[in-house]
Amino acid sequence: MPELPEVETVKRGLIKKVKGRKILKAKVNWNGIVAYPDKEAFIKEIANQTINDIERRGKFLMFILDDYFLISHLRMEGKYFIKEPNEPLSKHDHVIFTLDNNKELRYNDTRKFGKMHLVKKDELDKRPISKLGKEPWDKDLTVKYLKEKLNRKLPIKTLLLDQSIITGIGNIYADEILFLSKINPETKGVDLTNKDLQSIIDNTRTILEKAIEKGGTTIHTYTSVDGITGLFQQELLVHGKKDEPCPNCKNKIIKIVVNTRGTYYCPKCQKK
């Protein structure tokens, strides 16, 4: 599933393929994907807009158009493909953009979880990305900042997934970051030391950078339906490794549930 590194990889791939292209028209085959505005307005307003650039904010892709931002969240399984117009639609192709180079940009989403918002450039503050917290590499992401934001009783695992604090960390990397930081996922935010907070910042950056690097080497796989999952799977240390030996101390990794999210950690290395 796409977390920040995968979204960054998709972004880089899309820039190569569609930057500078004009969207001649759009077709929406599943209304649920288009969250705002309604389908008719979406189709009407996006016609003849040029994709001037593509940016990433947290796990959101942001297509910079002439008068609008197209904000796209892939959620669990969203993918973009470039296809020839005469190629038959795949089962889960839900939004099709016809480009000015006789190609189609197709949004494919097995689980129909993804969302798109088309917003005027001066209306950005009303839409989802306005609430995002610091990007992992933001210079303002400091121990002081985290100390304020994490001064709560919720488990650190839950707080790491809160996109309004640090944006871009998902369920998988949250486990990995806490493992590298030797912090128990159930530790209350308020109980973290300055050293813990610095560890979280450092390890977040390290692991996401490493993952982006990996993503970069397999950039073509974003057009392959099952390509993205396989990539960082091999790199994981604890997530999904129930009953397997901890890479650090060989103790068994255990799985618990923290605020409905499956959570993996080493009880020996990550004591409360």
Partner DNA sequence: AGATCTACCCGCACGC
Partner DNA sequence: TGCGTGCGGGTAGATC
Give the rounded distance of the alpha carbon of 225 from its chain centre.
Answer: 17
Residue 37 vs 262, nearer CB to DNA? 262
Residues numbered 233 to 252 that lie near DNA (CB under 7 A) are none
Residue 158 touching DNA (CB under 7 A): yes
Helices (H), the chain: 4-18, 39-46, 143-149, 156-161, 171-180, 194-217, 227-233
Q: Which of these segments, 8-16, 21-29, 56-64, 97-105, binds DNA (CB under 7 A)?
A: 56-64
Q: Is 184 in the site for DNA (CB under 7 A)?
A: no
Q: Pick one of 105, 172, 197, 236: the residue that binds DNA (CB under 7 A).
A: 172
For the bound state, the minimum distance from the C-beta of residue 132 to DNA, rounded and expressed in Å, comes to 8
Q: Is 261 a catalytic residue?
A: yes
Of 158, 147, 159, 156, nearest to 184 (Cα)? Answer: 156
Q: Using the rule CB under 7 A, which residue among 82, 154, 212, 219 binds DNA?
A: 154
Are the C-beta atoms of residues 268 and 251 closer than 8 Å to each other?
yes
Extended beta strands in the chain, E state? 22-28, 34-36, 49-50, 53-57, 60-64, 68-73, 78-83, 93-99, 104-109, 115-120, 254-258, 261-265
Q: Is 126 exposed, middle or buried (0-12, 13-18, 19+ CB in 10 A)?
A: exposed
Catalytic residue, chosen from 56, 59, 106, 115, is 59
> Whole-angstrom Cα distance, residue 152 to residue 236?
28
- Taking the least distance from each CB to DNA, the nearer of 27 and 152 is 152
| Comparison of 98 and 110: residue with beta carbon closer to DNA | 110
Q: Catalytic residue among 12, 182, 261, 267, which?
A: 261
List residues binding DNA (CB under 7 A).
1, 3, 32, 58-60, 73, 75-76, 110-113, 128-129, 131, 152-154, 158, 161, 163, 170-172, 257, 259-262
Active site residues: 2-3, 59, 261
